[in-house]
Structure 1
Amino acid sequence: MTGVRKYADLTCTEFNKINTHKAICLMTVSPLEVHGPHLPLGTDVYIGEKLQQEYCKALLQRYPDFELLLLPPLFAGCDSLPVKGSITIRAKTLESFLLDMAGQLSKMGFKYLVICDNHGGPSHQIAMEVASRKAWHCYNFYLINPFNVIYRMMVRHDKKFLQMINLASGNCGDDADAHAGTNETSLMLATNPELVRDYLNVSSSFLARKKGLSAAVGWLGKIFNKMGLVNISADLEHLANLVNWTRDAKNQPYLGSPSKANADDGERMTKGHVSIAVDLIEKSISGQRPFTKPMLWWLRLFRR
């Protein structure tokens, strides 16, 4: 693809010819994580790499004079599903890595690093945003993770976004379809169909009735809703659902209905991702700060 180069393949001579002020670096960052019996452990990175390709196509149309540099993918992230096979790193580790990357790129004259991500772990997204804000304040550098915004739209059923992708609740990656369900299986059918196993015979997995800690968090969310604090209420409901699912050993390592997946839905979701991402990148290029404020941002002090 014209204007797109792999960072690792460059020689020093080729690298020195790059106008770093007119270059955008892109990097896929997501964990190795169990995605049920039908999707591979690298699902989030594979989807992220497809998103990276589509981001590049859209960016080249809008900024044909920019150089796009692809950094090697990083199979790393926080809050992976706590079952055998998943690998989780600490939020502080991810935050430090991203900030170091931003610092090194900034020292060489680069201004932009776009993270291609597909993982909704709370501390994962919060670590990304903490690193983004530190990169801005320390280096005036734009570290952009569009998925923080997209994920919030999915979970909170943003009307404009759902209309854009022509999908409904329950198959748009919301809490009922949070992990390796209809949405992620559709995305994989659209991006790496050869890696999807026998998904038509995988039964649906639903959120169980809340109990214990998850019930208490859900109850607290209802209290905040009555107080008119809708955003905090929505975050607490989301947190309650996550706690309910991940802490119950009887639950399946996926959530949603994989058998309802299809490649067309995956293509529409991909286009929705690209639309939101390119809009955020455009705003950064125009000088707006790249803050994306993920769900549960107000819990950032507890991310470690």
Structure 2
Amino acid sequence: MSFIDLKYLTSSEAKAIAEHHGAIGLIPIGALEQHGPHLPLFTDSVMVEMLASEVAVRCREPIIVTPTLMAGLSEHHLDFPGTVTLDPVTLGSEIQAYINTLENMGLTRVCLLSFHGGNFSFLGEYAESISNIRTEIQVVAYNDFKRFVSIMFQAGLAAGLSLAPTDSHAGALETSLILHVLGEHRVRSYKTVTGYTTGDPGWMETMQAKGVRAISPSGVFGNPVSASPAAGKVILDALVEEVAGWLKQTFALKEDG
């Protein structure tokens, strides 16, 4: 079985599986932050957990997936109740602890994966810094957020969603994903939710300087009205294919067949 959920293993089982030639550790890093008035706070965490497990299933080698780190870099969302944010040093220390655990098990290859846009750049820089000072272990991160969002966007369009150019947070894309992964009972009423959709020049810079609320009082970028669970499946499948392909290429993994 390629997907190995670390938290359900015993200590002796973890050691035995990690000794398998080619085994890889995967650390999902999520977030606990506002996702508009309709999506749960752990949206990014549940999505990276799902993405990690589905990517692992696509691999032939054992992929040992750690418990998801539930908080990330979410400073821009702090105006909204329920949001938790870590400073980079704290997040780095938490990731380091998981890397140390995987290394102590015998792994020499570790992947960092996120679904929260605010984590991507940091994870890329962090993985590079670790690899530069610790040659005994290879740490990589999927950090191409622009490509990640583009794949979501194109898959959403192909699935029939009506998307604003700003759709990137709690809009039709993420709402569709949560409808698919968690079900309609976990999504509050969203048909009348309005988010930021105009994409005026400099809007991203304003958000980074002043926070999400300065751009979108609802905390939403995009418009969730057209969301559907069927579209969520299409989007998730596209992301799984992207990340699985990247992981196989990065670590020169065997292709199925």
* Alignment-derived partner of residue 139 in structure 2: 143
- By how many angstroms is 1:247 displaced? 4.9
User: Partner residue of 1:246?
Assistant: 212
C-alpha offsets along residues 128-149 of structure 1, whole Å, 9 cap, x if unaligned?
1122112222334343433x32
CA 1:113/1:161 → structure 2, altered by over 3 Å: closer, same or farther? farther
Aligned to 2:189: 198
| CA–CA separation in structure 1 for the residues paired with 2:223 and 2:155 | 21
Instruction: Report the Cα distance in structure 2 between the residues aligned to 1:282 and 1:178, rounded to whole angstroms.
Output: 27
- For residue 104 of structure 1, report the CA deviation from its aligned partner: 3.8
Q: Which residue of 2 aligns with 1:38?
A: 38
TM-score, normalization: structure 1? 0.70
Report the secondary structure of 1:115's partner residue: strand
Task: Go from structure 1 to structure 2 and tell me whether the alpha carbon gap of 1:57 and 1:50 turns closer, same or farther (over 3 Å shift).
Answer: same
Change (3 A) 1:23 1:4: same
**Is 1:255 the counterpart of 2:250 in the alignment?**
no
Q: State the distance in 2 between where 1:166 and 1:33 align.
A: 28
Cα gap change, 1:209/1:130 in structure 2, threshold over 3 Å: closer, same or farther? closer
CA 244–17 in structure 1, closer or farther in 2 if over 3 Å, else same = closer
Contact 1:178 1:256 in 2 (8 A): yes
Deviation at 1:15, TM superposition (A): 2.6
Distance 1:31 1:13 in 2: 31
**Equivalent residue number for residue 226 of structure 1:** none
2:31–2:45 contact (8 Å) kept in structure 1: yes
Q: What does the per-residue CA deviation read over 1:184-227, in whole Å, with 9 as the maximum and x for residues that have no partner? A: 00110111113112222x332225786xxxx7xx3xxxxxxxxx
Question: Counterparts of 1:163 and 1:15 in 2: how far apart (Å)?
Answer: 37
Q: How does 1:164-243 map to 2 (within 5 A)?
A: 166=158, 171=163, 176-193=166-183, 194-200=185-191, 202-207=192-197, 218=202, 238-240=204-206, 242-243=208-209
Verify the 8 A CA contact 2:34 2:41 in the aligned structure 1. yes
**Which secondary structure does the structure 1 equivalent of 2:14 belong to?**
helix
Distance 1:99 1:120, change over 3 A: same
Matched residues, number: 248
More helix by share: 1
Give CA deviations for 1:29-69 in whole Å, capped at 9, x if unaligned: 1111111111111111111122122112211xxx2xx2222
Gaps of 5+ in 1: 219-236, 288-304
Distance 1:22 1:198 in 2: 45
Cα distance between partner residues in 2 of 1:252 and 1:41: 14
Identity %: 24
Superposition CA RMSD, Å: 3.1
Q: In the aligned structure 2, how far is the partner of 1:206 from the partner of 1:161? A: 16
Q: Deviations over 1:130-175 (max 9, x none)?
A: 22112222334343433x32x31255x57x9827972699738x6x
AA paired with 1:129?
Answer: G
Any conservation in 1 of the 2:3–2:57 contact (CA below 8 Å)? Answer: no
Distance 1:132 1:168, change over 3 A: farther
Alignment match of 2:112 (pick from 112, 115, 133): 115
Q: Distance in 1 between matches of 2:87 and 2:46?
A: 22
- Is the Cα contact below 8 Å between 2:160 and 2:231 reproduced in 1? no
The one-letter code of the counterpart of 2:54 is: E
SS of 1:128's partner is: helix
Letter in structure 1 aligned against 2:175: T
